[in-house]
């Protein structure tokens, strides 16, 4: 007999496995909620399929290091978990390190490539989302928004 998930049915077993304790704990620990007094750049991303939305505000110093960060998160547990990992680790990160993490996150989601060791390696906890392509964009919202904000901040600095 096939095992079923909490919502019933074999298909939902995968959902139960995805929404595991680690992801739910991460989702409950989002930091840097709110707004900056004078952000250098602001960017937002929305997942068309589910309507999840994340807005970010950043400031970079002259060495391209993120010195200030704020976010507004209206997203599913996956988007919230990624936003929590981002918020926990972004202050003090070089902009290129954050962009590399965004690219690595997409590689993990699209190609099941493991996250490299480093500041954002906790994203590996979300590796099972790779099996749900329709959820990739909602999981990557926070990093996609920060990448846009970094590009905006850099263009203003030129």
- Report the first-to-last Cα separation within the chain, whole angstroms: 63
**pLDDT interval class at 79 (50, 70, 90):** confident
CB atoms within 10 A of CB 150: 23
Q: Is pLDDT of 13 > 50?
A: no
Residue 48: the pLDDT is: 86
CATH of range 11-157; options 3.20.20.70, 3.30.230.10, 3.40.228.10, 3.90.1010.10: 3.90.1010.10
Per residue in 21-50, pLDDT (tens digit) is 666 566 566 767 899 999 999 999 998 888
Q: Is the pLDDT of residue 9 over 80?
A: no
The residue among 91, 94, 125, 129 whose CA lies nearest residue 110 is: 129
Cα distance between residue 40 and residue 113, in whole Å = 33
Cα 57-119-28 angle, rounded to 5 deg: 60
Inform me whether the pLDDT recorded for 8 exceeds 50: no
Q: Report pTM.
A: 0.83
Domain locations in the chain? 11-157
Alpha carbon 25 to chain centroid distance? 15
Residue 52 has pLDDT above 60, yes or no: yes
Q: How confident is the model over 61-81, as a mean pLDDT? A: 91
β-strand partners of 56:
43, 71
Q: What is the pLDDT of residue 23?
A: 65
């Amino acid at each position: 007999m096939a095992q079923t998930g909490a919502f019933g049915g074999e298909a939902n077993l995968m959902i139960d496995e995805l929404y595991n304790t680690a992801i739910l704990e991460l989702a409950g620990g989002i930091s840097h909620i709110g707004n900056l007094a004078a952000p250098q750049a602001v960017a937002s991303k929305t997942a068309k399929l589910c309507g999840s939305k994340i807005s970010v505000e950043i400031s970079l110093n002259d060495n391209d290091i993120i010195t200030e960060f704020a976010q507004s998160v209206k997203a599913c547990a996956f988007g919230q978990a990624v936003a929590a990992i981002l918020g926990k680790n972004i202050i003090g990160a070089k902009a290129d390190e954050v962009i590399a993490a965004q690219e690595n996150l997409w590689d993990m989601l699209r190609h099941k490539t493991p996250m490299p060791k480093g500041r954002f390696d906790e994203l590996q906890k979300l590796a099972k989302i790779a099996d749900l392509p329709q959820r990739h964009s909602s999981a990557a919202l926070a990093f996609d928004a920060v990448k846009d904000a970094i590009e905006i901040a850099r263009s203003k600095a030129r």
